[in-house]
Amino acid sequence: MGLYANLPFLVLLVCACSLLSSAPLAFVGPAPLPQVAEEAALEAEATEARTSVVLVIFDQLPVSSLMRTTDEIEGELFPNFAKLAAESTWFRNASACYKRTVLALPSILTGNLVEDHSLLPRFQDHPQNLFTLLAGSHRMVVHERITAMCPTELLEGGRPQYGLDSKGAPRADHFRRFVARFDGGPGPTLGFLHVMLPHVPWEFVPSGKKYGTKMLREVGLGAWSKYDALLDLGVQRHLLQLGFVDALLGELIGRMKEVGAYDETLVIITSDHGCSLRGLDRDTPTIERARDLLHVPLFVKLPGQTDGRIVDRNVESIDLLPTIADVLGIEVPWETDGRSAFDEEPARKKKVLHNKGGGSVAVDGTFPEAWPALDHKRTLFGESPTWRDVFQPGQASEELGRPVEEFELGVLEGAQARIANAEAIRAWEGTSTVYPGLLLGSVTVAEGDPAPREVVFAINGVIRGVSQTYAREGSSASFVALISDKDLPAHPQLRLYTRGPEGRLLALESN
C-alpha cells in the first residue's frame, strides 16, 4: 500500500502568490531542530498525532471565480472543485488577511498577524510555525519558492533554491512532481507545496496547453488594461487558467484515492488572497475592491465526510494553523491571533485586509449579499457557461461553428486588417504543447468610415469567434481574441470579416 494507506490524512490546498523551486520533492523523517525551534516543537513531540498533513498553496484565487451562484460551485467548468464542495464543509465567508505573499504565508503558517512588516518570510523571523510545530512527529515534504519558513535542518539535502525567477517556472511540472511523491514510507507526513497558479501570467487553457503570451507583452498588453475589451479578456484568461488548476486538483485527488488515502483525508483548500479583475488598479485595497481581494475559497473535508454543507462563519487565513491543530488534537504552544474554524466561540465581527505599509481596509464580517465580480462574470459568459462560452464571451452560440457560406457574403472595400501573428498561425503543425491561440491585430477602413466594432474570424471556412475591437481612433481599431486549442487544426486557413447590414459578413483583406 502507499504511504498514507492506513493513516488519517490531512491535505490543505491554499492559494498564494509564489513560484516553485525546481528541486525535487523528498520525504524526510523528523530531524534535530536548531535550538531556537526546540521550544516551539516540544508540544508536538509529546503528542500522538497520527494524521498526515499536506499543504499545497495555489495563488491569486478569488472565490467568486469558482462560483456559479453564492451557494454553488460552477460544476461544468470546475468539476473537481465542485465534487470536493459536495462532500466537504464550504466556509464561503472565508477571507485573506494580506494581499502580499511575503505577509500572507507567514500569517497562514504561524496563525498570527505579522505586526512587523520588516520581517522576512523565513524561519529565522518566524520560528514558531507549522513546520516546527510538527517537526517532532511528522515526516517533511517541503517545497518552498519565495519563502524559507521550514528550518533547513528538516530538509533532506538542505535548503532548495528559492526566489523569484524572471524567466518563469514550470508550474504544472512542479505540481505533478509533488503528486507523484504520494508513494511509500511509514509514519505521518507534513507535505508542503507552494505553486503560483492560477496567478498571472495567464497562459494555460483547461487542457494544459499554453497559448503563448510573449506577443502581448511585446505590444504592451499586460494582464490588466484601461480598455473594457481587454479587461474582459483578462477575466476570460483567468478562468481558462483556473480550469487547468481544476484539472491538477483532480490529479491530486485521483492519486490520493489510488494509494487509499482519500477517504480518511482532511482536505482543506483555500487561497492566500484573491484579486480584482475589475479596473486597472487591481491591487489597491479600496472598499470597492476589498471583497475581491479578501474572499477566498475554503473547503474543509473531514475524514469520513461525504455530505457537503455551507457555513457562513467569519473565518480568516490566520485560522488555518489553529484549525490544523484542532483536527490533529494538539495544543499550539504559543499564542495565536487565529482560532479554529470549528471554534464554538462567536466569530469576529470584522474582516480586515492588512496592507503592507498601512492603509488597511475593514469590512463587515457577515457574508455579503452583493457580488459584483460574480455578476460581471455572468454578464460575460452566461448563467451556466461551458468552455465554449468562456472562449467566446457574449457571442451568440448559433453563429459559432457555422460555415461562412451559410451567410450572405461581401467585401468591405478599402479595409485592411493586419494579424500580428499570422505567420505563426499558418505554420502551426498541431503537435506542440504551446499553440498560437492568441489572435492579435488591427483593422483600418477607408478614411471617413467608422472603425468596425467587431471582427469575425473563421478557420477553414467555419466561424470560430468574434472579437470586440478596442482603441478605436477614427478609421482604425485593434482586436485580440483567444482561439480554443480544439478549434485550431494544423496549418489553418484564417479569414477575417466584419458584420454588415442585414447580417452580411464583409471580408477584410488581411496579411
Query: pLDDT tens digit string along 475-489?
Result: 889 998 899 999 999
Residue pair 3/28 in contact (Cβ under 8 Å)? The answer is no
Residue 266 is predicted with a pLDDT of 78
Domain with CATH 2.60.40 in the chain: 395-510
Residue 316 is predicted with a pLDDT of 96
Domain with CATH 3.40.720.10 in the chain: 9-280+292-347
Helix (H, G, I), strand (E, B) or coil at 243: helix
Among 56, 13, 66, 62, residue whose Cα is nearest residue 294: 62
Residue 28 is predicted with a pLDDT of 36
Q: Which residue has the higher pLDDT, 46 or 258?
A: 258
pLDDT band of residue 223 (cuts 50, 70, 90) is low
Mean pLDDT of the chain: 83
Residue pair 216/440 in contact (Cβ under 8 Å)? The answer is yes
Residue 470 is predicted with a pLDDT of 87
Cα–Cα distance for residue pair 459/465, rounded to 1 Å = 9
Helix (H, G, I), strand (E, B) or coil at 204: strand
Q: Which CATH number fits domain 395-510: 3.90.660, 2.60.40, 1.10.150, 2.40.30?
A: 2.60.40
- Looking at the predicted structure, is the pLDDT value of residue 245 above 90? yes
Cα–Cα distance for residue pair 142/131, rounded to 1 Å = 9
Q: Which fold does the domain 9-280+292-347 belong to in CATH?
A: Alkaline Phosphatase, subunit A (3.40.720)
Residue 141 is predicted with a pLDDT of 79
Sequence-distant (≥ 6) Cβ neighbours of residue 289 within 8 angstroms = 276, 278, 279, 282, 283
Query: What does the pLDDT average to over 94-119?
Result: 94
CA-based max dimension of the chain: 82
Cα–Cα distance for residue pair 331/327, rounded to 1 Å = 10
Note the pLDDT tens digit of each residue in 369-408: 889 999 999 999 999 999 999 998 876 556 788 999 999 9
Q: Which residue has the higher pLDDT, 381 or 145?
A: 381
- List the beta bridge partners of residue 364: 350
Lowest mean pLDDT among 4-8, 115-119, 495-499: 4-8
Cα–Cα distance for residue pair 121/147, rounded to 1 Å = 5
Within a 10 A sphere around the Cβ of 230, how many other Cβ atoms?
Answer: 20
Residue pair 24/180 in contact (Cβ under 8 Å)? The answer is no
Residue % of the chain over a pLDDT of 70: 82
- Looking at the predicted structure, is the pLDDT value of residue 438 above 80? yes
- Looking at the predicted structure, is the pLDDT value of residue 224 above 60? no
Exposure on the CB side of residue 318, measured as CA atoms within 13 A: 20
pLDDT band of residue 7 (cuts 50, 70, 90) is very low
Q: Is the pTM of this model over 0.85?
A: yes
